[in-house]
Structure 1
Amino acid sequence: MDKNISPAKSGTMFGVLFGVIMVLEFVIMYVIGMKSLVNSSAGVIVNIANYLVLPLLFIYLGCNHYKKDINNGFISFSESLKTGVSITVLAALIYAIFNVIFNYIFPDFINEMLEITRDGMLAKNPEMTAKELEVGLGMVKKFMNPLIVFPVTIAMYAFIGLVYSLIVGAIVKNDKP
C-alpha cells in the first residue's frame, strides 16, 4: 500500500479526462453549430452525459482505481467522497477555465447564445411582452458573465460530485477489517 497517494490525488487523471471530454463536447457543438443543437436531442444527450453519465462513470472509475490499484482492495466511505469530489471539481475547473478563455477569444458567442435563448423564449411563450423578454434575457446575460460562470460551475460540479460520490461510495466501500 502506498501511503503517499491520497484519495484526492488518485482521481487527478480521471478529473482531467472528464474535463477534457467536456471541453471537446463544447468545441464539437460549437463547430457543428449551436443553433441547430441547443434545443435538439443532441443537446439533451450532451447534458445527460455531462451531468449524469460521465460524473458517475469517472467517480466510479476513480474510486475503483484507488481501491484496487492503490489501497490493496480497501476504500472507506470518506475516501470515496474525497476521490469523487476531487474528480468533479478538477473537471469543472478545467471546463470553467476553458469557458472563460473561450468567451474572451470569441466575444460574439454570448450574443449568439442570447439570440438562441430569445428565440426559445418566444417559441415557448409567443405572447411574451417586450419587457418580460428583456428582463429574462437580462438574467440570462448576468449568468453568462465569466465571473459568475466560473464559481457557479465549480460549485455545481462539487455538489454533483458529492451526491454521486455518496452513491458510488455506498457501492464500492470496503473498509479494512
Structure 2
Amino acid sequence: MEKSVSPAKSGLVYGVLFGVIMVLEFVIMYIIGMRSLVGTSAGLVVNIGNYLVLPILFIYLGCTNYKKNLNNGFVSFGECLKTGVSITFIAALVYGVFNIVFNFIFPEFINEMISISKDDMLKQNPNITSKDMEMGIEMMKKFMNPLIALPATIAMYSFMGLIYSLIVGAIVKNENPQSL
C-alpha cells in the first residue's frame, strides 16, 4: 500500500515560506521606519498583503500542490481545509515567535509603537481625554504581552485560514470518485 502525505504536512513548506515573508516585511518596515509608514498607502498595502492576498495565495498553492503532486490529481474539501489552516497556523507561529524574539532584542520598539499609537490617537480624535488615551495604551500594552500576542496571532491567522480555505477549497476541490 502506498504511503500518503497528510494535507496538513504538505502545507508545512508553504506555511514557513508565508511566515518568513511576513518576517521580512516587518524587518524592512522597521528599517525604513515605522513612523513614516503609519497612515500611508505603503502600510495599507502591507496589511492587505498579509491579511488577504498572501494567505489566499499560499492556501491556493498548498492545495493545488497537494492535489497535483501528492494526491494523484484529487483533493477533497476537507483536505483543502486541513492544508489551508495548517499553512496559516505555521505562518502565524513563525511570525509570532519572531515578534517575541524581536521585542526582547529591541525593547525600545514597544515604546516607539506606543508613541506612534498616541500620536495617531490624537490625530484621529484631538478631543480625546487623557483617561481614554491611557486606557487605549494599557490595552495595547496587554496585547503586546508575549503570552497574549502569540496565541492571539495564531488564533487570528488560523481563523482567517479557515475562511480562506473554504473559498479556495470550493474552487480547487476534485473528489476521488473511488473514495465516495
Q: Is this a same-fold pair by TM over 0.5? A: yes
Alignment pair present for 1:72 and 2:72:
yes
Alignment pair present for 1:3 and 2:9:
no
Q: Does the CA-based 8 Å contact 1:2-1:71 persist in structure 2?
A: no
Residue number in structure 2 paired with 1:58: 58
Residue type of the partner of 2:63? Answer: C
Deviation of residue 3 (structure 1)? 3.1
Q: Distance in 1 between matches of 2:7 and 2:73?
A: 13
1:21-36 counterparts in 2 under 5 A? Answer: 21-36=21-36
Q: Distance in 2 between matches of 1:68 and 1:130?
A: 58
Q: Does the CA-based 8 Å contact 2:60-2:168 persist in structure 1?
A: yes
Q: Does the CA-based 8 Å contact 1:12-1:87 persist in structure 2?
A: yes
Q: Distance in 2 between matches of 1:127 and 1:63?
A: 50
Residue number in structure 1 paired with 2:160: 160
Runs of 4+ in 1 over 6 A off after TM superposition: none
Calculate the TM-score normalised by the size of structure 1.
Answer: 0.98
Q: Distance in 2 between matches of 1:110 and 1:2?
A: 51
Deviation of residue 2 (structure 1)? 5.3
Deviation of residue 4 (structure 1)? 3.1
Q: Does the CA-based 8 Å contact 1:2-1:70 persist in structure 2?
A: no
Aligned length: 177
1:1-177 counterparts in 2 under 5 A? Answer: 3-177=3-177
Residue type of the partner of 2:87? Answer: I
Deviation of residue 18 (structure 1)? 0.2
- Segments of 5+ residues of structure 1 without an aligned counterpart are none
Instruction: State the Cα RMSD in Å.
Output: 1.0
Q: Does the CA-based 8 Å contact 2:37-2:43 persist in structure 1?
A: yes
Calculate the TM-score normalised by the size of structure 2.
Answer: 0.96
Q: Does the CA-based 8 Å contact 1:23-1:95 persist in structure 2?
A: yes
Deviation of residue 129 (structure 1)? 1.3
Q: Distance in 2 between matches of 1:24 and 1:129?
A: 37
Q: Does the CA-based 8 Å contact 2:114-2:137 persist in structure 1?
A: yes
Q: Does the CA-based 8 Å contact 1:11-1:86 persist in structure 2?
A: yes
- Segments of 5+ residues of structure 2 without an aligned counterpart are none
Q: Distance in 2 between matches of 1:85 and 1:10?
A: 12
Q: Distance in 2 between matches of 1:86 and 1:3?
A: 20
